[in-house]
Amino acid sequence: MELPSLSHGVAISFDRDDELVVTASWSVDEDPVSFLGAPHHIPATLPPPPFLAGRTRMAQRGPLLVRMDNGTNDYRLERWIAILLGLLFFLPFVARAEDVLATGSYHRGEVKNVSGENFLALVKEEAGQWFLQPVRIRVETEFDPIVDEKNAMTGKRVIASGIDDGILIRGDRFSPGHVTAASPDGTTLTLGTTFQFKLHHVTSTLRYRCADAADPDGVFDCKLVMATGETEQEIATFDAFADRNGKPELPDIAPEVYFAGDLDHDGKLDLLIDIARSYNEWHPALFLSSAAGEGALVGQVAELTTVGC
């Protein structure tokens, strides 16, 4: 059945018992008599959107029911209208997933972003303060000297006004303005060292925990372990190889903590770390405390991967 064009409206009011009443109405672009015998303007009362559900007894009244003439076609129309109205209410409240990006050049297919998208640039001022600065990106096509032949332009360049070389993030957990950095706010992670980060009055550590022996291919499995108090969590894996003394060492990579601090304003440590496993790769990953699962310290919410040549 092909549905006619609908227009809709929503009204919110309170009845005499101070209960919330949400009324949706729609008009059908058909003759009021010929369209299933239904009146031209049909009101319907339905539950409020999720963010109001706990504030009114109306949430317990059951699902939307549109009364129309009996018959198979009427039921199908009711079902489609219920779906459309559900989307009308729910879509504005769908959380935006976290995303991480950076200004600079990319090979074809490495970024899917387009001009006009909004991000927050992670900026450190000369005084040492960190901020999330709103920016709008511009994505331009450019010549890729690694893969492009003459006259080809398959590369992409991400530009953010006022940001020369910066990391960009976005998501519902972030807001523009000052963010509290840990001490230190970043470092290069080397094997054999335990790195401490103090945020407010809590100290967390990052260190590698490698296997006692290499596998048959001579590779040591090394985990990057975050710890706060008695809680530990493995957040990344790296391949290490034996040095002259048979001890594990990372092969020409130096994972870096770009930012350590509180990005999501929950008072706990968040991390932005390069977890690349190859010298030819750049792989920043965002770990947030507010996304941690049960018994964990952080959860990885976003990552970006780009390669050199």
Q: What is the dihedral of CA 170, 176, 182, 184, to 10 degrees?
A: 80
Q: Which of 105, 104, 96 is nearest to 172 (CA)?
A: 96
Return d(Cα 72, Cα 80) in angstroms, integer. 13
Q: What is the pLDDT of residues 221-278, one digit of tens each?
A: 999 999 999 999 999 999 999 888 888 988 888 899 999 999 999 999 999 999 998 8
Q: Which residue has the tokens 């770990």?
A: 287
Main-chain dihedrals φ then ψ at residue 16, nearest 5 degrees: -65, -25
- Tell me the pLDDT of the chain averaged across its residues: 79
Reduced 3-state DSSP string for 171-187: CCCCCCEEEEECECCCE
Element (H, E) at 72: helix 72-90
CA-to-CA distance for 173 and 185, rounded, in angstroms?
Answer: 20
- Report how many helices (DSSP H) and strands (DSSP E) the chain contains, helices first: 1, 22
pLDDT tens string, the chain, 309 residues long: the values are: 444 444 444 444 445 554 444 444 444 444 433 333 333 344 444 444 444 444 333 333 333 333 334 454 555 666 566 556 555 544 443 446 799 999 999 999 999 999 999 999 999 998 899 999 999 999 999 999 999 998 899 999 999 998 988 999 999 999 999 999 999 999 999 999 999 999 999 999 999 999 999 898 889 999 999 999 999 999 999 999 988 888 898 888 889 999 999 999 999 999 999 999 888 899 999 999 999 999 999 999 999 999 987
What are the backbone dihedrals phi and psi of residue 198, each rounded to the nearest 5 degrees, phi first? -110, 125
- Looking at the chain, how many residues does it have? 309
pLDDT of residue 253: 83
Sequence spans of domains, the chain: 6-93, 97-180, 182-309
